[in-house]
Amino acid sequence: MNRTSLFLAFCFVIVLTGCELLPTYIVNDLNIIQGYGYDLSKNNKLKGIFLYPVYKGPNEPPTIETITGNGETSKQARSDANMKVRHPLVSGQIRLLVLGKSLSEKGIYPVMDTINRDPAIGTLIQIAIVDGQTKDILTLKSKKKENIALYIQEMLVQNMEMGKIVKTDFNTFMYQYFQKGKDPYLPIIKKEKDEIMISSLGIFKKDQLKTEISKEEFFIFKCLVEKFEQAIQQFTLKNGEKLVI
């Protein structure tokens, strides 16, 4: 055997060995996180809640389960939650991240930086601040039959595309955070009776929530920030009549 053939045979063996070292997973043996949230607990630690579908059979709709974990960091909170489930929690399909208001006021960069460093998480996930506890949103009984993470994600997207909410996502937030002269902003949602609604828009200084813009000011803020063609806005004329554009 000449040197060329020997070299090619050696490379072939290396490639085959490398393929065997790649991990293989069965979807039914994974808990694929699609939405999660973090709150600031009383002892200044993080309390995380993770939402994932459980597939029972080919002709049965998945059930949506949640698990909670605690820790000093977001990774530790997820590790704590992972100890309570049968299958490992993985982040390949995350669509939504919600953050408690108290955590947002303290600073959310540690959580955002962890996400930014995780190659399994896409940068276009939707983010929202919760006026209250994230658990109350992600375990809302009236939406039990739905995937609440996808529901909130789609609610945010359609209001950004067809309504008065400015467009934002994880990638936009990180760009604004590092850009000089820009302040990040995120929608704020809350539970009202048995429904979820967008209540205001949070304005950040660096990674800390500093002020809010009310729904009545959404239209003006969006006009200042971006160009858009589809939305509805009501004005009150001097004579008291209502004008809708």
> pLDDT tens digits for 24-70?
566 677 999 999 999 999 888 999 999 999 887 778 888 999 999 99
Give the integer Cα–Cα distance in Å for 174 and 116. Answer: 9
Closest CA to 164 of 107, 109, 225, 116: 225
What is the arithmetic mean of pLDDT over 96-117?
Answer: 96
Mean pLDDT of the chain: 88
* pLDDT surpassing 60 at residue 18: no
pLDDT at 22: 46
Is the distance from CB of 148 to CB of 140 less than 8 angstroms?
yes
The residues with which 100 forms a beta bridge, in sequence order, are 130
DSSP H or E stretch at residue 195:
strand 195-205
What is the arithmetic mean of pLDDT over 200-207?
Answer: 96
Give the integer Cα–Cα distance in Å for 124 and 30. Answer: 23
Question: Higher-confidence residue: 17 or 115?
Answer: 115
